[in-house]
Chain A
Amino acid sequence: MSGPEGQKAAGDIRDRARLAVANERLRLALATATGRLLERSARAFDTLPDQRRAKGQARAARQHGLANLDVHLERFVANCVKNGMHVHFAADAGEAARIVCELAKDQGSVIKSKSMATEEIHLNDALLSRGIDVIETDLGEWVLQLAKEKPAHIVAPALHKTTAEFAGIIGEKIGKTLPEDPAALVTAARARLREEFIRGGVGVSGANFGVAETGTLVLITNEGNGRLVTSGPRTHIALMGIEKVVPTLDGVVALLRVLARSGSGQKLTSYTSFISGPRRADEPDGPDEIHVVLLDNGRSRTLGTDQWESLLCIRCGACLNACPVYQRIGGHAYGSTYPGPIGLIATAMVRPDEESQAVMPHASSLCGACHEICPVQIDLPRMILSLRAQSVAEGRPPALERMLFWMAAFVFRRPWLYRAALGLGAFFARLVGRSHLRSFGPKAWTRSRDLPMVAKTPFRTWWAERKRRP
């Protein structure tokens, strides 16, 4: 994991978050970007007559697919094959990368359309290590590839980069000094990447949805790169998580209505492709071969557990924008393919380790903004809490923390002891005095907050007296 401002050397999310928060330029960029994305999205939703209903339909379409994923996945596979596509099955990230590399070898360079699933399996590293050249064609992803960085956001991967940084990176690649003007930079990138679109031998994409009823891949992009990647090369390889299966095309329409609104504030992205097979004999162009690589990587074992809702995710990135933690620490601090609130859950699913299960679940204030903004109404705070509970049940918290909570539980279960503890607390607090009280409290807590004085009369006593009054 590399990131800006020396995040590479940092230990876990806590260290990386500390570094990110200290970076004022990053915080300003994050505040501006997330604010703008939220505002654009809200405006786009306002154009729907009944947005609650639209979100409800989108969720229903996804939920119906997941509750019967066995049936719909099998149907999807059968229909893809009927349509002349090849389907491959990858149990984990390593297997998926091996399959794609095997399919892509000896066919020239790979041109890629933006895909989070390929990030999840670290496909670029795998391809390059086997000597297969790979070029990202989404503008933001391309610049990050040149800068050897990972995406910092699901939808706007380079939102932490300034125009000047874009100019520097693209300029260095093409050997020219470029002005700090987005339009000029896009023109330069277009010219350079055009060469790749013309010569690319294999197109690799993700899939936003897979339609079971027809065996169709749905792919959305704004830049038109998705259409070029899936139309020009002889071979198209699509990597798709199994949870992306949607039973019907009508369900996809319900999802499209909320996806772009939520992700980029558009009613629909510029290009929505429905791919139902390779070029037919009478068609002038299109790939000769389409390979669909289905990725499990922790998804199947999440079905039906209390984390299942995370599989509803359509990767719009809205929960990142709304999250007060993401707004301050940005995507790289999470140290995972998936940042933000959904990233806390998705990382525990695809990369179950000490950090994702015991540390990351605490990178949330549980304020509920993510749940509120989610276009498929995923109850993220509930799942984050459940991850914390799981980590406690497995005995992960430090001994001191466990002892304190055990003591608290002991006291809370005994009203007489609780009353006594309150009285004792108030007595000692007054004895020490407000200004010294803070030095007794937990330092991490009181560094940025006040520890208030314990009231003279406990609430319970006050309440009992108040009730006695006529």
Chain B
Amino acid sequence: MDKEPFLARVRAQLARAGRWHEGAHPDRPPPLPDVRQIPEGELVEFFCRELGAAGGQLHRVTRAEAPAKIAELGRARAARTFAAWDSPLVASLSLETALPGLTRIAVGDRLTLRERLEALDLGITEADHAIAETGSILLLPGPGRSRLVTALARYHVLVLPVERIGPSLTAVADVVRGCRDEDGRLRSNVAVVTGPSRTADIELQLVTGVHGPLELHVLMLVS
């Protein structure tokens, strides 16, 4: 069906329903005051608790300690490969030096990326925002920020400077609205990640690590 007749059916039906349509102006959305208030002082503790409840693992480290922590996580899981975002914060961790013996999979060619990342052990990224209310982290797209690195890795390790934690889920709306490229165009994909992948499809028993990462490690950078 063409666009116009398709939309016309909706328009005609709403016009027929006349009275029902009144009282709700399209550009006057209902007010949605935030129902979740978390006091400023409890923000970090709240985030840590919710991240844990969602099955994520938290590590409090300084920026200087972060590379060694990642190396330790990799060793404990017998990791052989890693891939990382090419973002300023992740780059500053000098991962090649920190992870000797691990092969870095360069993101590079897009068409073969899936095949090359199939054996990815550590996917190392950063979170631009985190939400205390739900223990979620936000993964933003952009140059050097591969989505598949976060989705195909067996273990997703990310760094989160503590000051990036905000209280409420309502922040997601602003982040999505504001996530644009240099031409002002919306970027392709914002992911709100809450714990590792999971399923309860087998007799409602919770199992973590389905198609996405088996584990989610958040390195919270404190001073």
A residues lining the B interface (CB < 8 Å): 29, 32-33, 36-37, 48-50, 53-54, 57, 60-61, 63-64, 67-74, 77, 83-84, 87, 89-91, 95, 137-140, 143, 156-159, 161-163, 166, 182-183, 185-187, 189-190, 193-194, 197-198, 213-216, 222-225, 227-228, 230-232, 242, 247-254, 256-257, 264, 266-280, 282-286, 294, 296, 300-301, 303-305, 308
Is B136 touching A268 in the complex (CB atoms < 8 A)? yes
Measured CB to CB, the nearest residue on chain B to A137 is B211
Say whether, besides A64-B29, A74-B7, A224-B212, A284 and B144 are in contact (CB < 8 Å). Answer: yes
Q: Which residues of A contact B9 (CB under 8 A)?
A: 91, 296, 300-301
Say if the beta carbon of B59 comes within 8 Å of chain A. no
Q: Which residues of A contact B193 (CB under 8 A)?
A: 270-271
Q: Which residues of A contact B196 (CB under 8 A)?
A: 270
Bound state CA distance, A455 and B200, in angstroms? 54
Is A282 touching B143 in the complex (CB atoms < 8 A)? yes
Which of A89, A156, A166, A275 contacts B200, CB < 8 Å? A156
Interface size class of B (residues with CB under 8 A): 35 or more
Is B204 touching A228 in the complex (CB atoms < 8 A)? no
Bound state CA distance, A89 and B8, in angstroms? 12
Of the listed stretches B19-27, B65-73, B92-100, B159-167, name the one at the interface; the rest are far from the partner chain: B19-27
Of A137, A216, A285, chain B has the most CB atoms within 10 Å of the CB of A285
Bound state CA distance, A307 and B150, in angstroms? 43
A116 to chain B, nearest CB (A): 15
Indicate with 1 or 0, residue by residue over B2-41, a CB within 8 angstroms of chain A CB atoms: 1100110111011011101101111001101001110000
Q: Which residues of A contact B197 (CB under 8 A)?
A: 222-224, 270-271
Q: Which residues of B contact A294 (CB under 8 A)?
A: 6
Say whether, besides A53-B35, A57-B35, A252 and B173 are in contact (CB < 8 Å). Answer: yes
Say if the beta carbon of B223 comes within 8 Å of chain A. no
Bound state CA distance, A138 and B210, in angstroms? 9
Bound state CA distance, A278 and B135, in angstroms? 28
Bound state CA distance, A213 and B198, in angstroms? 31
Say if the beta carbon of B203 comes within 8 Å of chain A. yes
| 14 pairs, A vs B, C-beta closer than 8 Å | A69-B10, A77-B3, A138-B201, A161-B203, A222-B200, A224-B211, A231-B147, A231-B151, A250-B29, A256-B169, A267-B53, A271-B191, A283-B143, A301-B13
Is A275 touching B198 in the complex (CB atoms < 8 A)? no
Which of B25, B133, B147, B148 contacts A267, CB < 8 Å? B133
Q: Which residues of B contact A84 (CB under 8 A)?
A: 185
Is B204 touching A222 in the complex (CB atoms < 8 A)? no
Of A32, A213, A282, chain B has the most CB atoms within 10 Å of the CB of A282
Say whether, besides A70-B10, A253-B169, A268 and B192 are in contact (CB < 8 Å). Answer: yes
Is B142 touching A139 in the complex (CB atoms < 8 A)? no
Measured CB to CB, the nearest residue on chain B to A69 is B10
Is B35 touching A223 in the complex (CB atoms < 8 A)? no
Q: Which residues of A contact B173 (CB under 8 A)?
A: 248-250, 252-253
B interface majority secondary structure:
loop
Q: Which residues of A contact B110 (CB under 8 A)?
A: 284-285
Q: Which residues of A contact B177 (CB under 8 A)?
A: 213-214, 249
Is B21 touching A67 in the complex (CB atoms < 8 A)? yes
Is B1 touching A163 in the complex (CB atoms < 8 A)? no
Is B141 touching A286 in the complex (CB atoms < 8 A)? yes
Which of B141, B181, B202 contacts A139, CB < 8 Å? B202
A233 to chain B, nearest CB (A): 9
Is A284 touching B146 in the complex (CB atoms < 8 A)? yes
Of A36, A187, A267, chain B has the most CB atoms within 10 Å of the CB of A267
Is B30 touching A157 in the complex (CB atoms < 8 A)? no
Q: Which residues of B contact A296 (CB under 8 A)?
A: 6, 9
Bound state CA distance, A183 and B208, in angstroms? 8
Is A304 touching B211 in the complex (CB atoms < 8 A)? no
Measured CB to CB, the nearest residue on chain B to A229 is B211
CB within 8 Å of A: which B127-155 residues:
133-136, 141-148, 150-152
Is A194 touching B21 in the complex (CB atoms < 8 A)? no
Q: Which residues of B contact A272 (CB under 8 A)?
A: 136, 172, 191-192, 194
B77 to chain A, nearest CB (A): 15
Say whether, besides A250-B173, A277-B188, A304-B17, A224 and B151 are in contact (CB < 8 Å). Answer: yes
B186 to chain A, nearest CB (A): 4
Q: Which residues of A contact B194 (CB under 8 A)?
A: 266-272
Q: Which residues of B contact A252 (CB under 8 A)?
A: 173
Which of A90, A182, A266 contacts B203, CB < 8 Å? A182
Measured CB to CB, the nearest residue on chain B to A87 is B3
Q: Which residues of B contact A216 (CB under 8 A)?
A: 176, 186
Q: Which residues of A contact B20 (CB under 8 A)?
A: 67, 304, 308
Bound state CA distance, A312 and B169, in angstroms? 22
Which of A73, A228, A275, A276 contacts B10, CB < 8 Å? A73
